[in-house]
Amino acid sequence: MNVFVLNCGSSTLKFQVVETDLPLIERDADRRLASGIIERIGTQALVKYEAPGKPAVRTASPVRDHRAGIDMVLRWVISDTSGIEGIRSMADIHAVGHRVVHGGEKLIRSVGIDDDVIHQIEDCIELAPLHNPANLKGIRAARELLGDGVPQVAVFDTAFHATMPERSYLYGIPYQYYRRYKIRRYGFHGTSHRYVSYRYRKWKSLPREGVDIISLHLGNGASACAVQKGESIDTSMGFTPLEGLLMGTRCGDIDPSIVEFLTHMEGVSVSEVDTMLNKSSGLLGISGLTGDMRELLEEEEEKQDRRARLAIDVFCHRVRKYVGAYFAEMGGAQAVVFTGGIGENSAVIRERICKGLECLGMRLDAERNRAPLPVSPHIGVICEDNSPVEICVIPTNEELLIARDTVRCVHDVPRRW
């Protein structure tokens, strides 16, 4: 089965084509046939297509909206230019899997999309006004372009965290606001934390209930997740992705009184402060330079920039705080896993995070950290052999889980991982 995986953001569109099916999932033999991204939809967009074994294609072309973008991508997918094995026409695309950011309290597992599900995703727009509308555009466009005969499935970023207990998800505000408006912690990056847990379980041949790990997804957005007995019991993002760790441009945890204080002092509106907390805070805000970790590390090393160092220090400090908190919450963990652009690629940041955490049983091996020891095609170990708590790097692959959930929903097989 060829699954078209779609991840629509406000002005971006990422896609993959994944060949998968129940027997392929069982053998872990499903594979990516193509991938790509369109950025700056609505203007002169930047387009990138990749198919394994071929040079990436980069172009710039006007893309009016998400529908036009998906149309363009599908045309490329079925074209001779892409040369994707086994795909010659639209009929060779058998299903579509959509990443949907917010499923609220009702959509807590992947589901086949029908009108009722679309209404339920619309109901969550209030909770994710920046994300769910873009996801819905993708769903509607794919339906129009591929027809009702091609099944579509929604996979929610929040779903993995639906197992959080009340003590983790409730805020300390009057309970009526939870009841009235569903103000609570939902958590995001769920598919990535689930993927990491799945890979760890496979490597160790554990049953699902045997997985007790702390997953650290460190990218432009960043979150930590406490996975106990295979389920998310706590995570650092909350009502929105703004809470928790310091991120590229998001502030992470702050005292909420700052919002009122700033509106008063700067004479700006609440929504302007909200934009500042989302778009010009975090690494960018502290350094005053960039929200990109790789660039910050360069500034720190080459120019000894003090604020670049400060931003990186706050980032690492916050991750360490959450790791410590989750150890206490879980009463110990088998492993701490790094994923996401920073977690997968930056040995320096991993080292700075792990420094001083030997007290928790995390003994990083400096050499392995620079070149992770491959223990499976998907996992690199970076701790000493006798480290009481394993430390690993597992490159995330949310698209693979979205494709697999799509297959399972189409075949009406319950999701397992």
Active site residues: 157
* SS3 sequence of 164-209: CCHHHHCCCCCHHHHHHHCCCCCCCCHHHHHHHHHHHHHHHCCCHH
CB of 218 to ligand ADP, least distance (A): 7
Burial-class residue 257 by CB neighbours within 10 Å (0-12, 13-18, 19+). exposed
CB of 189 to ligand ADP, least distance (A): 9
**Complex with ligand ADP: residue 198 or 338, whichever CB lies closer:** 338
* Cα distances (angstroms) measured from residue 218 to each of 92, 99, 244, 317, 346: 36, 19, 12, 13, 10
**For residues 18 and 400, is the Cβ–Cβ distance under 8 A?**
yes
CB of 382 to ligand ADP, least distance (A): 15
**Complex with ligand ADP: residue 292 or 299, whichever CB lies closer:** 292
Nearest to 71, CA basis, from 143, 129, 168, 154: 143
CB of 283 to ligand ADP, least distance (A): 7
CB of 83 to ligand ADP, least distance (A): 27
Nearest to 125, CA basis, from 140, 104, 152: 104
**Complex with ligand ADP: residue 162 or 347, whichever CB lies closer:** 347
**Complex with ligand ADP: residue 233 or 316, whichever CB lies closer:** 316
Q: Which residue in the shown chain puts its C-beta closest to ligand ADP?
A: 341
CB of 373 to ligand ADP, least distance (A): 18
> β-strand 44-50 against 57-62: which pairing, if any?
antiparallel
Q: What does the alpha-carbon distance between residue 234 and residue 245 come to, in Å, rounded to a whole number?
A: 13
Which pairs with CB-CB distance under 8 Å and at least 24 residues apart come from 307-312? 310/286, 311/246, 311/282, 311/283, 311/285, 311/286, 311/287, 312/283, 312/349, 312/352
Nearest to 13, CA basis, from 56, 47, 43, 44: 47
**Complex with ligand ADP: residue 219 or 372, whichever CB lies closer:** 219
Q: What does the alpha-carbon distance between residue 118 and residue 126 come to, in Å, rounded to a whole number?
A: 14
**Complex with ligand ADP: residue 187 or 221, whichever CB lies closer:** 221
**Complex with ligand ADP: residue 163 or 220, whichever CB lies closer:** 220
**Complex with ligand ADP: residue 168 or 249, whichever CB lies closer:** 249
Which residues sit at the interface with ligand ADP, rule CB under 6 A? 219-221, 248, 292-294, 297, 340-342, 345-346
CB of 345 to ligand ADP, least distance (A): 3
DSSP string, 101-150: S--TTT--S-EE--HHHHHHHHHTTTT-TTTHHHHHHHHHHHHHHH-TTS
CB of 305 to ligand ADP, least distance (A): 15
DSSP string, 15-83: EEEEE--HHHHHTT--EEEEEEEEESTTSEEEEEEE-TTS--EEEEEE--SHHHHHHHHHHHHHSTTT-
Sheet holding 213-218, edge to edge: 231-235, 222-228, 213-218, 335-339, 390-393, 379-381, 373-376
